[in-house]
Amino acid sequence: MKLTVNRDSVTPVYIQISDHIRRGIIDGSLVDGFLLPSERKLAEELGIHRNTVTRAYMELKSEGLIEARQGQGYRVHYHSLFGQMESQGFKKKPVHWEALIEDRYEDIRSSFDELYHLSYEEDLIPLGGGVAAREPYPPEEIAEYFEKILKGKTYFHSPYQGDPELRREIVKLLELRGIRVRESNIQMFSEANQTMDFLNSLLLSPGDTVITPELLSADVYRSIQLLGGKLVPVPMDEEGMICERLEALIEEHHPKYIYVDSSFNNPTGALLSIERRQKLLELSYRYRIPILEEDESSDLFYEELTLPSIRSMDTGNNVIYLFSFSLTFRPGLGVSFVTADRSITERLHNMVSVRLAALDWAPQMIMLEYLRNGQYLQRLEDYRTVCQQKRDRMDQHLQKLARRFGISYTRPRGGVYFWVRLPEGMDAAKLLQKAQTLGVTFIPGDLFDPAHARGKDHIRLNFSYPSIAQIDRGMELLGKAMKEI
C-alpha cells in the first residue's frame, strides 16, 4: 500500500490517511481481509506521530471498513459493514431489473426467435427457418473471395450509406427490374430486420397506425409494435392482400404507411396480383400514403416470371423499396438495402452514424465482387433450380400426408415456404412438441398473426435451407408426429 501525506495541506493528516485507505477499499485495490501496516510502522514510514495513524484507523473502524484483531493488527473488513447494518434492522434490497425494462419490451414474444434458431441446431431437421439454400455457393469459393478482399485492401468500416461501388452495382441491378434510382437513393444494411427497425424509427410515432396483410413476418410486426405503432390487418387470399375495403380503412385509421411483401408472402406464399398492385398505387397517390414494399422473394419464381414490383410501377415516388439478399446469397453474409426518396436515405445514413457507427464491410465487398463479375445473376438460375427441386420433393411428401391425414395446402409458385392447414382438431403447438421430440422442427402459424389468434391450425414449412435428404427424413418424422397425436 503506497501512501503519502501533504503536511502543507489544510486537510488534517489523519483525514488524508483515512481517505486514502477508504478509496482503496471501495475501489477494490484493498481487498477484504487485507492486513494494514501497524500503527508504529505506518507512522515511521510517513514520519508522523503514531497517534495520528491511530486516529485515522479509529475513523475507518467506526465506519465499519476495518476491524482490529488481537495480535493481528488492523484488517480490511468491508463486508462487516453489511453485517452491522443488518443487525440494526437493515435489509439488502436488490435492484428490481424487470421494473426498469420499458413495457413495450416486456410484450415481445420470443417463441419465433427460439424456433427459428432451433432450425439450425445439428440434432434437429430444419423445416422452420427461412434462409438461402447452401448448395449454389461453395464455401471454398467464398473463402477465396474473403482472402482476395483481405489481401487487396486494408480492413475498414464502410461509409454510413454503404460502399459506393456496391451501391453503383445495385443501381444497375435495379435497372434490370425496371427501377431507376441514383446511388444517393440507396441505403445499405445488413439484413431486412435491421432495415425495418431503422425505417420504423424514422417514420413512426407512438399511436401511429400501419396497414399490413393479416399474416406477415413476426420481425415486421414486432418492429412496428416496439415503437408504439398499431397494426391494421387486412384479410388475404391466394392473390395476397384483399384491397376492396382498403380505402375505408385508410379513411378510418389514417395510416402512416401501407406495408406489403408483394412477391410470395411470408408465410402464405401468396403472390400479390397485378390488379392489386395497381390498386395500392392508386390509393397511395390519392391519399398521399407511402407504400413500404418488401420484395426479397421476387427472384425465386418457379412457374412463370414474377410480376413487376410496385416500385417499378411507381411514377410518383411514393414507394419505399426494401430488398434483402438473404434468400439468394450465401447464408451468413447479410446484405440488404432500401431505396427511397433522398430525404429518407439521407436521414437513414445519419441514423446509422449515430446508432451503428459503421456497417459490416466484408459482406458488402463479397456481394460487390459477385455483382461486378456477373456471377450473382448467373447463380440465380442455380438457386431457382435447387429450390424448385426441393419444393417439388416436399410437395410429394405433402401429397402423401394430404391423403393420409387430410392436410391441405396450395403449392407455392415461388418463394421458400409451404403454408399448410392441419386436419380439423389438430393443434399446431401440440404437433410441434411431438415433432421436436422426434427430431424435426417447423414454425406454428399463429406466430405470423400479430394477435396470435389466426393460424393455430396452420404450420409454415421451409424448403430452401434443408437438403433433399433432410426434407425426406423431416417429412417422414412430421408424418409420424401427426400419427402419434
The distance from CA 56 to its chain's CA centroid, rounded to whole angstroms, is: 56
pLDDT at 118: 62
Range 138-376: architecture per CATH? 3-Layer(aba) Sandwich (3.40)
Are 138-376 and 379-484 equal in CATH topology?
Answer: no
Q: For residue 232, what is its C-alpha cell?
A: 391494421
More confident residue, 315 or 306: 315
Question: Reduced to 3 states, what is the DSSP secondary structure of residue 269?
Answer: coil
Average pLDDT, the chain: 89
Residue 140 CB-density burial (10 A; 0-12 exposed, 13-18 middle, 19+ buried) = exposed
DSSP label at residue 206? T
All residues at 6 or more sequence positions from 119 whose CB lies less than 8 Å from its CB, including other chains: 126, 127, 128, 129, 441, 462, 465
Q: For residue 292, what is its C-alpha cell?
A: 413500404
Q: Determine the residue type at 325.
A: F
pLDDT at 375: 93
Quick: pLDDT tens for 374-384.
999 999 999 99
Residue 259 CB-density burial (10 A; 0-12 exposed, 13-18 middle, 19+ buried) = buried
The single residue listed with the C-alpha cell 466484408 is 362
* H-run or E-run covering 338: strand 336-339
pLDDT at 391: 97
The distance from CA 286 to its chain's CA centroid, rounded to whole angstroms, is: 34
How far apart are alpha carbons 420 and 432 in whole angstroms? 13
How far apart are alpha carbons 356 and 378 in whole angstroms? 33
Which of 145-159, 371-385, 441-455 is least confident?
145-159
Q: What CATH class has 379-484?
A: alpha beta
Ranges of beta strands (E only) in 235-289 are 236-237, 240-241, 257-261
Question: Reduced to 3 states, what is the DSSP secondary structure of residue 213?
Answer: strand
Q: For residue 297, what is its C-alpha cell?
A: 422473394
pLDDT at 306: 79
Which of 90-94, 253-257, 319-323, 376-380 is least confident?
90-94
Q: For residue 8, what is its C-alpha cell?
A: 502543507
Quick: pLDDT tens for 331-388.
888 899 999 999 999 999 999 988 887 788 889 999 999 999 999 999 999 999 999 9
DSSP label at residue 359? B
pLDDT at 213: 97
| pLDDT band at 258; cut points 50, 70, 90 | very high
Quick: pLDDT tens for 222-232.
999 999 999 99
- The hierarchical CATH code for the domain 13-87 is 1.10.10.10
pLDDT at 120: 59
pLDDT at 123: 76
So where are the chain's domains? 13-87, 138-376, 379-484
How confident is the model over 453-459, as a mean pLDDT?
Answer: 91
More confident residue, 258 or 23: 258
How far apart are alpha carbons 102 and 323 in whole angstroms? 31
Most confidently modeled of 130-139, 296-305, 388-397, 445-454? 388-397
pLDDT at 109: 57
